[in-house]
Structure 1
Amino acid sequence: MRQCLRCGYRGDGIPYFRKPLHAVLLAAVSFPTFGLGGLVYYASHRRNLVCPDCGHGWEHARKPGEVAAVESPPQVPSRPGGAPSPSGTGPVPPSGIGRRVVGVGLGVVALLSILAGVVDGFVPEAVVTGSIFGMGGSGMFLWGWQALQWRRRAVMQALGRRVLRMATDRGGVLTVTEVAAELDLSLEAAEKLMIGMDDGFRVRSDITDQGVLYYEFPELRHQERLQPGKEA
């Protein structure tokens, strides 16, 4: 059993062409090239395994223990003297903009092909070709949209880890303004980030007597007084 580095799926990879999107792409490549493009595409990918969820190449997957050692969020250390926290967030997944552009392009080609087939007295070949391109374009756009969501999730997780390091350095109390200044975010983006982290338990918000909204991290604020539980 292995774990996908992109989406975290645990299990076994599946053959490349068992993914519906890849099968649609195979058909889309085969039809306009009279099968030659599809044959080349199939021959170059037929032995590949991919993640069942996101379609990422299974050759990049790792054993769960290895993934945890490489990708698990770093532990929040206690830095004496308020040493500055690291500013890097590491690489993030691609946004899938290329896939979305290709998907839109295929959709335009599909629309033009179908319109041409209908206007010219219903030409079945043109309609079928347009339908295939439309399916391929839809699948490609969806693939790119999923990549965009994975990227956003990765960015928010990376920012959350930096907020935890900030909270450790500053005694477990932060304001939105401090987060915005430290992470180079707008006040709106910093506020959205902190609201997303506020679970009322490990991170909770409160207002001072002067009307200042702040976020408290109880586990970090009272870290020195925390004692391990005693065995029964």
Structure 2
Amino acid sequence: MKCYTLLDLQAMERYQRANFVNCLSGFKPTTLIVTQDKAGVSNVALFTNIVHLGADPALIGFINRPKEATPHTLANIESTGFFTMNHVGLNQIEAAHQTSAKYPVGVSEFDHVELTKQLRPEFSVPFVTGSPVQLGLKLADIVPIKHNGTYLVIGELACAFLEESNVESDGFINLAEAGSLTTLGLQGYYQPKFVQKLGYARP
């Protein structure tokens, strides 16, 4: 194995270094976050740095890049207090990837990529039609990360939509069967494959 040092990373071109470091933490969820501004204009953005923070209350967070890099998602959540997370399915890869392009403020990605919004009476912000797992979240907290100017955005789960057949009796959700994808680096997409399920570990 080669030892990649900080000097090796600094010698890489910016995009190469970002891709390399992004891969180091492993496979990540592939998620479309939908927000709305107060005028009702929807923003759709691809996020992969999603983290489970607790089950009671059910908290799910994501890392938002510095405001100057990705301002719309954070601004909309700060403004309205609500957002949705939508797992990306196999037939949505190219459209989901295209949402990472920098569209101007006031322009909805729904109007420019092959994704359609799904309105549900249970929640105020749209979901993504065809997403195998759809989550509605209410803002719980925004935690600035001073070291690099990013933000941990924490949402409290308000509702979840998924096929009941993918939920096992112990609460385990078979996301591979549901069709949720994962991502690696800046542009690699994967279909997870179930390997093994183990029982609750005890001493």
TM-score by length of 2: 0.24
Decide which structure has the larger Cα Rg and report it.
1
Higher helix share: 1
TM-score by length of 1: 0.22
